[in-house]
Amino acid sequence: MTSAAKKAGDRFLNRVFTHREINFCMRRRDPWPCLAARFAAKEAVFKALGTGLTTWHDVEVTGGGSHPVQVTLSGGAALHAGAEKITVVLLSIAHDRGRAVAFATAVRQEVK
């Protein structure tokens, strides 16, 4: 890989993923499926929230492997979720043989 390609790849990683997400995936023997699944997860969360893309870092995906996958919202994503009375985002992610898939469900507070 050329140094220009590496710089472009690093810029992409830092623009899309939080440091925690990058560190979690880079500890894997092959980090790319892990990163692809988190990318798919972030897109699924944005769609579940009903928003256009805000800031990639506003959605952080943690866990995986032997730990449950969780979503943490911050910034504009958290503000939007609060305004829409969304109390939790449920997430399922998977990757296998060059494919990544994610499903997100935004759960709204029950209106009484």
42-62: per-residue pLDDT in tens?
999 999 998 766 789 999 999
Q: State how far the Cα of 2 lies from the Cα of 12, in Å rounded to an integer.
A: 15
Query: Which stretches of the chain are assigned E, i.e. beta strand?
Result: 59-64, 67-73, 86-96, 99-108
Alpha helix locations (H) across 19-65?
Answer: 19-26, 31-49
What tokens appear for 63 in the block?
């866990």
Q: Which amino acid is at 70?
A: Q
Position 64 confidence tier, pLDDT thresholds 50, 70, 90: confident
CATH of segment(s) 3-108:
3.90.470.20
Q: State how far the Cα of 24 lies from the Cα of 35, in Å rounded to an integer.
A: 9
Q: Is the pTM of the predicted complex or chain greater than 0.85?
A: yes
